């Protein structure tokens, strides 16, 4: 493995893990008012395009890391739906 692949792996790990604190905070607090739905949807769309790009390029680092991030984002969307305030 060359240095650029290691950089890609480290970047992917950082990106994938960056969403977990928000996910766990929502689980713990059972609140989601401070999370922007538009932000999540834009991020989710971008991540889906990254997965698609990884598939086109046959780059497993991009595919796996961004697929993980898509799953975490979907989890956040589910929590936003479950914990939204009833009006």
The total number of structural domains that make up the chain = 1
Residue carrying structure tokens 């961004």: 66
Residue 86's pLDDT is what? 57
Using the Cα atoms of residue 14, residue 68, residue 44 and residue 23 in order, give the sign of their dihedral: negative
- Rounded (5°) CA angle 67-71-17: 80
Domain that holds residue 51: 3-83
**Domain CATH for 59:** 1.20.1280.290
**Do 72 and 16 contact (CB within 8 A), yes or no?**
yes
> pLDDT per position in the chain (87 positions), as tens?
788 888 988 988 898 899 999 999 999 999 888 889 899 999 999 999 999 999 999 999 999 999 999 999 999 999 999 988 754
Residue 16's pLDDT is what? 86
Residue 76's pLDDT is what? 94
pTM over 0.75: yes
Residue 69's pLDDT is what? 94
Phi, psi of 36 (to 5 degrees): -80, 120
């Amino acid at each position: 493995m060359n240095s650029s692949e290691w950089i890609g792996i480290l970047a992917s790990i950082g990106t994938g893990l960056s969403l977990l604190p928000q996910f766990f905070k929502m689980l713990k607090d059972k609140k989601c008012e401070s999370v922007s739905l538009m932000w999540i949807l834009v991020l989710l769309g971008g991540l889906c395009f990254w997965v698609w790009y990884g598939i086109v390029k046959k780059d497993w680092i991009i595919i796996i890391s961004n697929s993980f991030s898509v799953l975490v984002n979907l989890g956040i969307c589910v929590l936003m739906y479950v914990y939204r305030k009833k009006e």
